[in-house]
Chain A
Amino acid sequence: MSYWKKVCQLDEIAPFSGVATLVNGEQVAIFRVNAEVYALSNFDPFSEANVLSRGLVGDRNGILKVASPIYKHNFDLLTGRCLDDDNVRIPTWRTRVVDGIVQVEVQ
């Protein structure tokens, strides 16, 4: 059974930045692009640290992505694919904003 976890108000996340939350004990990074939010694992597999929510958000050739603050690997916000290493993909979560509240789907 899946359900939606309420994380925070949308305006607690500045546009083009991220925050982290715990979902079932797992760290999830949530990024805001204008009114949209995206959720990726907070764990950067290259530095083995939970830091992705602290990366800079932007785009590469139109693909929304975040750059890890440690070694600057880029991850696709939609798919979790690493844009600098085809062999790496990190988990993603479904998200939605309801009445100004950011929610993450918990499986």
Chain B
Amino acid sequence: MAKPTLIVVGNGMVGHKLIELLIQKRAAQQYRILVFGEEARMAYDRVHLSSYFEGKTADDLALSNRDYYEDNGIELFTNERITEIDSKLRIVRSESQEISYDTLILATGSFPFVPPIRGREAKGVFVYRTIDDLDAMAAYAKHCKIGAVIGGGLLGLEAANALKNLGLETHVVEVAPYLMPRQVDELGGEILRGEIERLGIHVHTGKSTSELFCEAGAVRGMNFADGESLEAEMVVFSAGIRPRDELGRAAGLRLGERGGIIIDDFCKTSDTAIFAIGECALYKNQIFGLVAPGYEMARVVAEQVLGNGKPKPFTGAELSTKLKLLGIDVASFGQITADNIHSKEICLLDSHTGSYKKIIVSADGKRLLGAILVGDAESFDMLLQVKQNNMALPPHPEDLVLPAREASTSSNSFGLDALPDSAKICTCENVSKGDICSAINENGFTTVGEIKDCTRAGTGCGSCVNNLKKLLNQQMEKRGIAVVNHLCEHFPYSRQELYHLIRVQRISSFSDVLARFGKGLGCEICKPAVASILASTWNDYILEGEKATLQDTNDYYLANIQRDGTYSVIPRIAGGEITPDKLIALGQVAKDFNLYLKITGGQRIDMLGAHLDQLPLIWERLIEAGFESGHAYGKALRTVKSCVGSTWCRYGQQDSVSLAIMVENRYKGLRAPHKLKSACSGCARECAEAQSKDFGMIATERGYNLYLGGNGGMRPRHAQLFAEDLNEEEVIKYLDRYLMFYIRTADKLQRTADWLESLEGGIEYLRQVIIEDSLGIADELERDMAHIVGSYDCEWKRTLEDSERMKRFRYFVDSNDRDANVVFVEQRGQKRPAFPEERAALEKLS
């Protein structure tokens, strides 16, 4: 007898979750299972869609792959929309086929609502829902300067972030009087607005858009109901979602008054053979636009079709939100306003640091009913757990929103310890604290990755990963396993501990460190790490004796290795200032040695394609022309970028170039846990992009604002404002302390942004240490820095002085031949290394 047929319409996050559950339970043995998705792509992570503009690819976002479906006997049809359901004959139809079903599951999701206003069809109008939408936005944005998002809710702000990442002047238009009206209250919305405006995004609230105006079919802006208008060359609608219920409607299923396929506690529609799950389903007059309730519905359906007659019913969901919008924490759950009869509110508004915390408690002050957190959502997980487990509040519930004070005896947090085993840690995947702890203990897990693979916790929205880490550490400590932040298998110490030991015991060689604190022979992790600690403590020449063999190839040859084994050379050009003579000298050297030239992001010149034996010859010429090492090869200070500042610029407020040069020369050669980048801008226009650097100075009328802990790269972070209106002396004093404190306490390969995030108390704690000297180490930090600054020596100059050392600059120990495998081809008038296939073709020719 043929197996009954089960058809899933929709391959979004919830549709995919259902398939995953069916596969886990081996449903393909009972059913023929078919899946239809109208997008060309398989299910992907829509929750983190905005990371697509921050470097993630469509592959990174994909939740699965075709092999997984195929290997498990699931027939998948993407790019194939189901156009009709005949519920009487139990048949679904697409453009190319019709198939009978026994069980049908609709997981068709939702579509972005676009209000019926004039101009909505114009070119340049977008919605924010699919990867295709994002691709279209990115392509169109290339020709635009100003973009506007209609809708200041959660998705609208994500879309605004996307526009900002695309380089547009960005506006957000919200019809309600404040931002994110569904998640926060008016005060929270105002704090959020302040923070978002600080990032350069323009916010317009209380604005109802009446029409879009166009020119030659392309949008040019919008008119508001109050008569005002806004120019924009690109408009993104993010005015809420509507359920994709058209198939259900045509099939005669019962729908809600405002749409949505009505389901019961078991996700059944009005037709017993048809289920609906996710955003197309209407449960008790509510559409759930979040992934966790959708997953819960998928579970309810999976259990039923597999013959578990009476599964745990769907009972609705706690609508909690926690996200980082444009770097700003916003979180809320439960009731967000109090009626002052059955519930009361306690709130803390701190417009100085831009944070707002509010909790809603029962009238007797014993139970937590809801919370709003803006700017600082640190306590979200704890509060949500208190609510979900209906835990009794402490005698002074206000402690839950007040910041912790030193010497305070009252505990203002419920540790994970206090939670019962039934507490749900991962609400997306419905995993409890007990499940996680027993998985850790039974399998001896030591990493969060293992917990994720085994329990699926942390694989949905990811907001519980911090708690997973904490639980793991707790369980490991209980089992007597030290929580491992060891440098590597050779050293049972963290970088910070090892730094301390080396410093206090005045050790100056790797063999000594290894003999006293480690075991084995060392490896590519601990050797460079120890070499870096030795360098930032004693500042001896890094290629002296044994130290040379600890260095990565880049530090060993004082140049940057490229994919073909040749090296690049970057001389220091402090502050990006260069004389014509020096520029000509660089050009001449590049010409004489046939090097490829590229201007770097740090206002320097990269000379690529140097053979090993050429490096000393190149440097002889560069030193003669007055250059010194740029340390581009080291975990060290790279550059201090600058704009021209008050010396030329009509807006400049301070001489930013001079400060940049001074700072760069002060810290050049400083070895650190990771590379350091800096910049100095002459006015608030910030042309030098100082806020994306490990430390940045921005000129004001009265001096400089100092920003710390910024980063570009894969996960960009805005630097945080540390202190305002400093004079140059103060800038140097604070930087000395900041950099030494970072060098002393950071983990291996930890950039300042991550380090700052990991410091308990964050920037405020850093202020205490650096400005108020709360640890009493400021003098010591300054002395250490003075030693490093005073003992600076150009590594290349030093290296050239020693003819013995020159011997290492060749490919072979016993000949002067070059690597025959290094072959260059020409591109745009310069050389580049041949790709393997080009190399093979060239070899054939010869």
Which of B563, B564, B817 is within 8 Å of A22, CB to CB? B817
Q: Mark A17-38, 1 if CB is under 8 A from B, else 0.
A: 1011110000100100100000
Q: State A55–B520 Cα separation when bound (angstroms).
A: 18
Asked if B821 is at the interface of the complex by the 8 Å CB criterion, the answer is yes
Asked if A81 is at the interface of the complex by the 8 Å CB criterion, the answer is no
Instruction: Using CB atoms, name the residue of chain A closest to B566.
Output: A49
| Inter-subunit contact B821/A49 (CB<8 Å) | yes
Chain B residues positioned under 8 Å from A61 (CB to CB): 489
Which of B523, B553, B814 is within 8 Å of A54, CB to CB? B553
Q: State A7–B813 Cα separation when bound (angstroms).
A: 8
- The smallest beta-carbon distance between A32 and chain B, in angstroms, is 10
| Inter-subunit contact B815/A69 (CB<8 Å) | no
Q: State A33–B490 Cα separation when bound (angstroms).
A: 17
9 pairs of residues in contact across A and B, judged by CB atoms under 8 Å: A12-B813, A15-B549, A19-B812, A21-B813, A49-B821, A58-B490, A58-B520, A58-B526, A61-B489
Chain A residues positioned under 8 Å from B489 (CB to CB): 60-61
Asked if A95 is at the interface of the complex by the 8 Å CB criterion, the answer is no
Asked if A78 is at the interface of the complex by the 8 Å CB criterion, the answer is no
| Inter-subunit contact B524/A58 (CB<8 Å) | yes
Q: State A56–B529 Cα separation when bound (angstroms).
A: 13
| Inter-subunit contact A59/B520 (CB<8 Å) | yes
Question: Which residues between 497 and 530 of chain B lie within 8 Å of chain A, taking CB atoms?
Answer: 520-524, 526-528
- The smallest beta-carbon distance between B805 and chain A, in angstroms, is 11
Number of interface residues of A (CB under 8 A): 37
Chain A residues positioned under 8 Å from B655 (CB to CB): none
- The smallest beta-carbon distance between A104 and chain B, in angstroms, is 10
* A-B pairs with lowest CB-CB distance, top 10: A19-B813, A58-B523, A67-B524, A69-B553, A49-B565, A56-B524, A59-B521, A17-B549, A54-B553, A58-B522
Q: Mark B425-468, 1 if CB is under 8 A from A, else 0.
A: 00000000000000000000000000000000000000000000
Q: State A69–B815 Cα separation when bound (angstroms).
A: 22
Chain A residues positioned under 8 Å from B553 (CB to CB): 51, 54-55, 69
Chain A residues positioned under 8 Å from B554 (CB to CB): 69
Number of interface residues of B (CB under 8 A): 33
| Inter-subunit contact B563/A49 (CB<8 Å) | yes
- The smallest beta-carbon distance between A34 and chain B, in angstroms, is 9
Instruction: Using CB atoms, name the residue of chain A closest to B839.
Output: A48
Question: Which residues between 59 and 98 of chain A lie within 8 Å of chain B, taking CB atoms?
Answer: 59-62, 64-65, 67, 69-70, 72, 74
- Chain A residues near B (Cβ < 8 Å): 7-8, 12-17, 19-22, 27, 30, 33, 43, 47-51, 54-62, 64-65, 67, 69-70, 72, 74
Give me 8 other A-B pairs in contact (C-beta within 8 A), A43-B821, A56-B552, A70-B563 excluded: A12-B807, A17-B549, A27-B819, A48-B836, A69-B554, A69-B561, A72-B524, A74-B524
Chain B residues positioned under 8 Å from A60 (CB to CB): 489, 523
Asked if B314 is at the interface of the complex by the 8 Å CB criterion, the answer is no
Q: Mark B469-498, 1 if CB is under 8 A from A, else 0.
A: 000000000000000000001100000000
- The smallest beta-carbon distance between B611 and chain A, in angstroms, is 12
Asked if B556 is at the interface of the complex by the 8 Å CB criterion, the answer is yes
Asked if B765 is at the interface of the complex by the 8 Å CB criterion, the answer is no
| Inter-subunit contact B814/A21 (CB<8 Å) | yes
A-B contact count (CB 8 A): 93
Chain B residues positioned under 8 Å from A72 (CB to CB): 524
| Inter-subunit contact A58/B561 (CB<8 Å) | no
Instruction: Using CB atoms, name the residue of chain B closest to A51.
Output: B565
Q: State A7–B490 Cα separation when bound (angstroms).
A: 32
User: Interface on chain A toward B: helix, strand, loop, or mixed SS?
Assistant: strand
Assuming A55-B553, A56-B552, is B812 touching A21 (CB within 8 A)?
yes
Q: State A14–B836 Cα separation when bound (angstroms).
A: 32
| Inter-subunit contact B815/A22 (CB<8 Å) | yes
| Inter-subunit contact B524/A54 (CB<8 Å) | no
Chain B residues positioned under 8 Å from A49 (CB to CB): 563-565, 821
- The smallest beta-carbon distance between A6 and chain B, in angstroms, is 8
Q: State A65–B811 Cα separation when bound (angstroms).
A: 21
Chain B residues positioned under 8 Å from A30 (CB to CB): 813
Asked if B323 is at the interface of the complex by the 8 Å CB criterion, the answer is no
Asked if B589 is at the interface of the complex by the 8 Å CB criterion, the answer is no
Instruction: Using CB atoms, name the residue of chain B closest to A22.
Output: B812
Q: State A14–B521 Cα separation when bound (angstroms).
A: 15
Instruction: Using CB atoms, name the residue of chain B closest to A13.
Output: B813
- The smallest beta-carbon distance between B695 and chain A, in angstroms, is 29
| Inter-subunit contact B523/A50 (CB<8 Å) | no
Q: State A3–B528 Cα separation when bound (angstroms).
A: 38
Q: State A16–B520 Cα separation when bound (angstroms).
A: 13
- The smallest beta-carbon distance between A67 and chain B, in angstroms, is 4
Q: State A43–B522 Cα separation when bound (angstroms).
A: 23
Chain A residues positioned under 8 Å from B546 (CB to CB): 14-15
- The smallest beta-carbon distance between A102 and chain B, in angstroms, is 9
Asked if B662 is at the interface of the complex by the 8 Å CB criterion, the answer is no
Chain B residues positioned under 8 Å from A47 (CB to CB): 563, 565
Instruction: Using CB atoms, name the residue of chain B closest to A56.
Output: B524
Q: State A69–B629 Cα separation when bound (angstroms).
A: 21
- The smallest beta-carbon distance between B77 and chain A, in angstroms, is 35
- The smallest beta-carbon distance between A61 and chain B, in angstroms, is 7
Which of B528, B549, B557 is within 8 Å of A14, CB to CB? B549
Instruction: Using CB atoms, name the residue of chain B closest to A17.
Output: B549
Asked if B23 is at the interface of the complex by the 8 Å CB criterion, the answer is no
Question: Which residues between 311 and 344 of chain B lie within 8 Å of chain A, taking CB atoms?
Answer: none
Chain A residues positioned under 8 Å from B521 (CB to CB): 16, 33, 57-59, 64
Instruction: Using CB atoms, name the residue of chain B closest to A25.
Output: B820
Chain B residues positioned under 8 Å from A33 (CB to CB): 521
